[in-house]
Structure 1
């Protein structure tokens, strides 16, 4: 009987291991496909410039592209590189990070933009290490048109209904990174705020 129970537990453990491994591999493949898609979009963007005399004018349709990938968030201090999708819908947040709609475009002076993401419960994925960021840490948001650099200046834990934290702040381009807090709970939101910097 003990041997049967032991073998059953080993079998269940192996099954769970394979399920988790498959999920991790599938997630990585999905992330890679989204980032490759973004790279293709950026390449197309570079080739769709219209030159007028010495000035280059970006084609407006590029900004209005219906592509779902709008950028790649890179945070070296927590080893994060993840695609950012248009809209923080449940479907998007199961695949990557999502821009919260109804706010300003990232990089807009006196504007406020925000990116949301789940804590995926897999070390190093999505925003499950966001709590490790510290004031002064820097990161990048690569968009179709530019690479925007940010420096963290504020970290807060707030209630989900506290949306005032996303209000514009005069003189800066604000980007907020948001995830649920604490881990495996949606009682609060961890909000890491950064301002755009030149270098």
Structure 2
């Protein structure tokens, strides 16, 4: 019986010694340190550049749509203080269209169309200057064009200068103002294929019977696509007004990046304007949608960060005895 306590004490002594030795060993360990693997930075940097290049058009287009939507909202608010009033501006625009001799030419080899139409009757049109039509001091926007089929909701400006076409849709001077009426044909043009803005990039996806809506100084005009053509730059007959129809045409360059021809989408007015379309007047733009590019960028950055971290080495520093 006396041997059992002796064995137990021996076992306890051995365990205590082992624990003490472990504690001493643990005290010697100072810390575990992560060290960057410099070679992992090269593929990580290349991957980051690739992600930025891929996402830039999406991000830039989203930012552009934010700015364009803000301009549309500002335009709607500016109409309340328009001078002359909205109704007077519409009446003047109709007079301008009546006085206008339709005639336009699409500039060859360029990304825009240029009008050469002129006003008929100098005395009757002396007060009908193009730049003063559908104009408010608070906003440079003359109208708003919506094509839901391709997520277009853009401001329309006077003329087709390069500066105008980089921020929105230009109205082709020399064609009817976009206020509707039998015998009129407004022609609206915009860039296609810009990295920083979508604009009319997807105009080639429009189909017959798709809806084009024009909001202009408090009025809503509803059009349905009736014709889609690929035309040469000098095909002036294709954009002339029809004396018996109320038309609008959207035009942009094609093939994408080459721009030797033009896509011409023509729509005819639906009268009266459907009630559900008329109720959309002045409504806040639905675009841009959710910024998915932020999600994609966050995921890509997380993966790149994980790669750099997992490629690093771990070093254990131990205190000397």
TM range (shorter): 0.7 to 0.9
Residue 226 of structure 2 corresponds to residue 169 of structure 1: no
* Match among 133, 140, 144 for residue 213 of structure 2: 140
Corresponding residue pairs, total: 192
Matching residue of 1:80: 152
* Match among 62, 69, 74 for residue 141 of structure 2: 69
Separation in 1 of the partners of 2:190 and 2:155? 11
Matching residue of 1:54: none
Structure 1 spans left out of the alignment, 5+ residues: 50-56
Matching residue of 2:162: 90
Shift of 1:121: 5.1
Query: If you compute each CA radius of gyration, which structure gives the higher value, 1 or 2?
Result: 2
**Cα pair distance change 1:21/1:126, threshold 3 Å:** closer
Matching residue of 2:203: 130
Deviations along 1:134-177, one digit per CA (max 9) or x if unpaired, are: 22222210001411111111110011121221111121122110
Separation in 1 of the partners of 2:223 and 2:57? 34
Q: CA RMSD in A?
A: 3.0
Separation in 2 of the partners of 1:75 and 1:139? 5
- By relative contact order (CA 8 Å, sep 6+), the higher-ranking structure is 2
Q: Which of the two has greater helix per residue? A: 2
Give the TM-score normalised by the residue count of structure 2: 0.53
**Cα pair distance change 1:78/1:64, threshold 3 Å:** closer
Separation in 1 of the partners of 2:218 and 2:73? 16
Matching residue of 2:227: 154
Q: Which of the two has greater strand per residue? A: 1
